[in-house]
Amino acid sequence: MSNLWSLDNPVFTDFAFYAAVLAAKVLIMAPLTGHYRMTRKAFANPEDAKNFGAKDPKVNEDVERVRRAHQNDLENIPIFWIIGLLYTLTNPSHTIARMAFRVFTFSRIAHTILYLSGSVLRPMSFLVGVSANAFMIFNVIYNFI
């Protein structure tokens, strides 16, 4: 059997691609928060408020919404990185693995879009992502008992 964590393994290359997409998504959230802070003049620290022409630090619901979406990513995406990597060790079907990786990635992107727009569908996208992770977790546990 060849090395499962190699570019010769299409499951691993798919995992690496979707893991990188999600890393980029996490990184984009910080400047997006900064953009919302600047346009709403809602800064968390007095020195930032002063430097950007605001009187005092203040809380803004739009800024907080972006921060919560970012926090949610930080709570969920690292689990995908760990379990997805372990899942590749189970030598899964390429088609099924790609589907699990895609479902999780698209659910996280949808979650952010729905979160920022205040959609009532946001919990559904969250649950879809959790389900994709749960599927991989179950498979890892099943394969290693």
For the entire predicted model, the pTM comes to 0.90
| Domain harbouring 93, CATH code | 1.20.120.550
99 is a domain residue: yes
Distance of CA 84 to the CA centre of its chain: 13
Q: Is the dihedral of CA 82, 85, 91, 93 positive or negative?
A: positive
What is the chain's pLDDT, residue by residue, as a tens digit (145 residues)? 458 888 889 999 999 999 999 999 999 999 999 999 888 988 887 887 778 877 777 788 999 999 999 999 999 999 999 999 999 999 999 999 999 999 999 999 999 999 999 999 999 999 999 999 999 999 999 999 8
The whole domain housing 75 covers 10-143
Q: Where are the alpha helices (DSSP H) in 41-93?
A: 46-51, 61-88
135 is a domain residue: yes
